[in-house]
Structure 1
């Protein structure tokens, strides 16, 4: 019986992220953390002859949170564009996880048609050494451009 080797774990710092917005690519070097999830939306079904409720998948919803160091005006500008001009801007986020000490290789995932839910317009905190901001967003599609290799058991 084999086991998963610790060296094949992926370091949280060994990642790159890019935003593709209005035809340009920008590295998210000021990003600290991103988490995205897909939640199935289910319909409850009741049928004759069964007391329990069954569930049937009826769609999905993509949501995420991006945490960045408070070091860019980009996201405030996007929100202002919507507030002042009514133009809602959609963008893609590409994340590559690649730890050179791991034998798993790299994984690259693209979140497509991302749209911001909320943005901090100002921030300060006299007790904080570093300012950060969290932004929630939705996305409408996902592609996996590169998949991790299967682990070799030890």
Structure 2
């Protein structure tokens, strides 16, 4: 039996991430983000097979989606929607997320989402009695890149 276990320092601190958004060549460090998640889901279809009771499965494409939460203190994304409303042109975004915790042995991972489109954007907001205003963000992406990936921890193999 392998007695190697995870060193607690190798769990990545979520608050040490960085988020950058590029829109039409302008790059922004999105300090406002408090949560972010991107998922890629392959489309899996059933494949009927003659002579078998069970169907097989095959991947035929995929879909990328992201969601997040941010402090309500920027107008960059509202300007993207204003451009779309006024011209019919929806600027695509590139979103880069970097995860690096200096106390962890895994190093750094950098993920770049390409061809991002926003599903919706809050254009105005207030909430009497609230201490802080935040907003939900969501959208789709066409593909992702991993220019940097976490190192494998000792004991994983």
Report if TM-score (shorter chain) is over 0.5. Answer: yes
For the residues of structure 2 that align with 1:54 and 1:92, how far apart are their CA atoms? Answer: 36
Q: 1:116 is matched with which residue?
A: 118
Q: CA deviation at 1:68?
A: 1.0
State whether structure 2 residue 106 is matched by structure 1 residue 84. no
State whether structure 2 residue 147 is matched by structure 1 residue 136. no
Q: 2:53 is matched with which residue?
A: 51
Q: CA deviation at 1:118?
A: 0.7
Number of equivalent positions: 153
Q: CA deviation at 1:52?
A: 2.0
Moved over 3 A (4+): none
Q: Which runs of no fewer than 5 residues in structure 2 stay unpaired?
A: none
Q: RCO higher in 1 or 2 (8 Å CA, sep ≥ 6)?
A: 1
Q: Which runs of no fewer than 5 residues in structure 1 stay unpaired?
A: none
1:104 to 106, 109, 122: 106
Q: Considering only aligned residues, what root-mean-square deviation do their CA atoms show, in Å? A: 1.1
Q: CA deviation at 1:89?
A: 0.6
TM-score, scaled to structure 1: 0.95
For the residues of structure 2 that align with 1:120 and 1:152, how far apart are their CA atoms? Answer: 45
Q: CA deviation at 1:108?
A: 0.5
TM-score, scaled to structure 2: 0.93
Q: Which range moved further: 25-34 or 43-52?
A: 43-52
